[in-house]
Every structure is written in C-alpha cells, then in structure tokens.
Structure 1
Amino acid sequence: MKTKDREFNGKNIDLDKLSNVVEQYFQNEKFKTQLGKHPNGTLIQATKEGLLRSIAGMDRSYSITISGTPDNVKISIGMGKWLQNLGVAAIESFLLTPELAFFEVPESLWGFEIEDKFWKYIENQIDLGIQ
C-alpha cells in the first residue's frame, strides 16, 4: 500500500472545513492528530498512542493529504512516519513527492477497516455538502 487516492470534482468543497472534518474524524476514533497547512494543500497525521507502541518504536501514522481547488479536490491516505514539529518542509515533501513520503506496509484487516470506514465517512460528508 502506498497511497489510496480519491478525487472529488464539481462539488465546491471548502478545503479548510474538509481538513477539519478529517482531523475530527480521527480524533473521534481515538487517534492523536496533527494538522499542517501549506499553500499546496494540507497534511493531517493520525496515530494511535500507547506504551507498547512507544517501546516498539512504532512511529507510523496515517498521513492524509488534501490538495486541489474547491471544484477539484484530491484526498490521499497512506502510511508515513510520524513527523515531530510538522513544518512547511515536511508538508511539502508529502504534497510534492508522495512516493518518497509514504512507505509500504503489509495490508492488514485493521488497516483496511479503518480506511474503508474513513472513505465512507468522507464521501458521505462531501455528499451532504462541506461548503
């Protein structure tokens, strides 16, 4: 799995509201999140915390990028390294060179379930009109 992308055309989506909806979704699912904005888009990272993860050095997170215009939005989700102090350079690497920012992880039922639920939620919110 590198990234899974979806494009939404002709929907007049408020990109800031969409970013907040995505971040809120993961927070409601008990993920720690961070959001960073860049002129080319937004990066949201979501990770599960816990002692076992800390001991194992698991710094993986879901990385969601949102880019485009209100009438042509692209959302990508994949696994990436949790970035401390999310800054412009880090966000730019995800937005401009995603093939380097995301990494392969074995498919798991848990990961598939989270992504499937995420896409259903986002598509529903867009259909309801994030404007």
Structure 2
Amino acid sequence: MTKKTYQDKDRDLDALLRDIETWFSGQGYQIQTNKTDGTWFLQAAKTEMWRKAIGASRAFNVLIQGQPKDFSVELSTGEWASNLTAGGVAAVLTGGATLLVSGLAAGWSKKIESDLWNFIDQKVMFGEKAKSVQELVVLKTQNTLEEKLKQLRDAYDQGFIDEIAYNAKKLEIEGQVRVTQQNAGTEEKLVKLKSLLNAGILSQGEFEMKKAELMRESSNSELDAQISKLNAALAAEIITQEEYESKKAAIQRESQLAGKIKQLQNARDAGIITGEEFENKKLTLQLSPTYKDHVTS
C-alpha cells in the first residue's frame, strides 16, 4: 500500500477520479467506483482470463480522501468487490488490502503503480481546479437542460411533436443555458468586487460604478432571454415576422431604459448625484421620445 498527501492544491476531486477512471479504461480495465462525503474510491481489474494467465487475481484500489485543498491518494490491491455499491468502500479495504503480489504479477503491478503515480502527480499539478459555488450551480443547471434537450429530441424522433414545435422548444432551452452562464458569471464578479471593497482596494464610488457595469451586463443577459423566447415563438409560427420585429424593438427599448435608470440609481447611491437630481434625470429619460411609450407605473 502506498499513499501520498497533497496540500494547498485546490483540485476538483470528482474530476481527478474521472481522469483516473479514463486512464484505467484506456488500458482495457473494467472499472467500478463509489463516492461518499469526502471519499472517492475506484477499483480496476483486467478480465478474469487475463488475471489467471499472469497469476494476478486482485484488483487495483484507488482511495481519495479529503477536500479540494488538502487530500490524500492511496493505492493498493484487493479483492474485486462483486457489488461495490452494496458493500461500500470500508468492506473492500477491510477485506484485505495489500501492496502487491509475487512473481510476474508483482512486476506487472509495480509498473502499473509507478505509471499511475506519475499520472496522478501530473493531474494534481495541472488538472482541474475545484469549482466555485456559482460554477457548480451552472453545471447542475446545464445538466438539467441537456437532459431536457435529450428528452425533446426523443419526443421528436418518436413523432410526438412536429419539427416546428421541436425547433421552437430547442431555441428556448438553448437560450436558458446562455442566460444561466451569463448570470453565474455576473454573480461571481460581484462577489470579487465586494471583496475588493471590503479590503479597501476600491472606494464605495468605484465599487458602485463597477457594479453598475455588471448590472448592465446582467440586463443584456435578460434581454437575450426575452429575445430567445421571441425567436422560439417565431419559429413555431405563433407570431409573424412583423410582430417579431415590433416586439423585439420594444423589448430592446425597455431594456435600455431600465439600464439607464439603474446607472442613475448607482450614481445616486454613490453620492455622485443628489436624490432630487436622480428624480429629475429619471423623469427626463421616461419622457424622452425614445422611451415614453414604454414607461411602466
């Protein structure tokens, strides 16, 4: 049994296990894995006939424990678990983990072990970093939407919906994916901005101005979502091309007005303009020929 401890690495341990799984699969091993809180476990073994040929009846065990910044990786050999999910990791390891066996199998196992450690060291050094909360939210949403796209395609292939309905729904779901990614990026930038403000690197005024820029980006993502729905309605022939152009122009004007008012609010909050100036400028915007038909109460 050999073990290494890695500190201050900030690595995505799910990705590390997947990389190790790919490494074994590429060499013709059968794989099974088990994951619990803070523990990742993998078993890899060659076919029964191959193992008998070289006298190696045991499987490779890879045990990862810890958190993204500080974790350990342990390699050993042990009996292949007939049902890893039912037995659990502890049952496999307490069943008799050992380093290696003798003869031809020992030499083969040592070579595999050495190559695997080299691979793991490289992945720890250059592999994927642990994902932020925002990135995990995006991944979860993307997986959900990708599953929806798959179900939509299956429904179309089986003739439950026609091509027009399929294309309309597909456009809508793809628009949701883009908006999710954009919103997550904005949220992450806001968190970083707040940390710079708290550290005294940005003044309150600078913070508000930068925040306003991010809010404009966020408004653009909301605009994309609305236009994506319009595209879907057009593709489904729910609205005409003329209606599409009219509604799209109205949405863009509303988005521009909302963005400009948000800039004014940030300027007021940062003390750049007074409350009275804010109200006057806001009224001027709302009464301008560009926006006055789209003011909401």
Q: Which aligned pairs between 1:44-123 and structure 2 lie closer than 5 A?
A: 44-51=42-49, 53=51, 59-87=57-85, 89-93=87-91, 98=93, 101-103=96-98, 105-106=100-101, 108-123=106-121
CA change 1:15–1:60 in 2 (3 A) is same
Secondary structure of 1:62 counterpart? strand
Secondary structure of 2:83 counterpart? coil
Q: Which aligned pairs between 1:2-17 and structure 2 lie closer than 5 A?
A: 3-17=1-15
Q: Aligned equivalents of 1:58 and 1:44: distance in 2? A: 18
Q: Aligned equivalents of 2:50 and 2:29: distance in 1? A: 15
How many corresponding residue pairs?
126
Q: CA deviation digits over 1:1-20, x for unaligned, max 9?
A: xx110111100011111111
Higher share in strand: 1
Give 1:46's aligned amino acid: A
Higher share in helix: 2
Q: CA deviation digits over 1:31-83, x for unaligned, max 9?
A: 11111111240110000104254699964100110110111110001001100
Q: Is the CA contact (8 Å cut-off) linking 2:78 and 2:95 kept in structure 1?
A: no
Q: Aligned equivalents of 1:22 and 1:115: distance in 2? A: 12
CA change 1:52–1:117 in 2 (3 A) is closer
- TM-score, length-normalised on structure 1? 0.82
- TM-score, length-normalised on structure 2? 0.39
RMSD of the alignment, in Å? 2.4
Secondary structure of 1:46 counterpart? strand
Q: Aligned equivalents of 1:19 and 1:79: distance in 2? A: 17
Give 1:45's aligned amino acid: Q
Find the structure with the greater CA-based Rg: 2
Q: Aligned equivalents of 2:110 and 2:53: distance in 1? A: 25
Q: Aligned equivalents of 1:116 and 1:46: distance in 2? A: 15
Q: Aligned equivalents of 1:86 and 1:21: distance in 2? A: 20
Gaps of 5+ in 1: none
Secondary structure of 1:87 counterpart? helix
2:21 to 23, 40, 58: 23
Secondary structure of 2:84 counterpart? coil
Aligned residues with identical type, % of pairs: 22
Q: Is the CA contact (8 Å cut-off) linking 1:63 and 1:79 kept in structure 2?
A: yes
1:42 to 40, 43, 55: 40
